[in-house]
Amino acid sequence: MYVCMCHAVTEAQVKQQIDAGADTPRGIAKGCKAGTDCGSCVRRIQALLGEHGARPCPTARLAARLGLAEPETNVIAA
C-alpha cells in the first residue's frame, strides 16, 4: 500500500526506515522523501511511527481514532 503518492513510497519502505532508526516524520523524509511534497501522508507516517513505538501520534484523539495506544507517561515520584 502506498503511503506517499507524490514519491511512490510504500508502507513497507516507511517501516524499513523505522527499522533503520528513523523516529520522526522528518527522519522518514530524510530516508525516502515521504512527506516532503504535499504533506497529505504525514499523518499516516505519524501513525506508523506510533504503531512501531518510535514516536506516538501528536494528539490522543488522532491516536484513538487510528486505534493506537496512548503514549506512556513517565512519572517520577518525589
pLDDT tens sequence across 24-73: 899 999 999 999 999 899 989 988 998 887 755 555 556 666 665 555 44
The residue written with cell numbers 491516536 in the block is 63
pTM of the model: 0.68
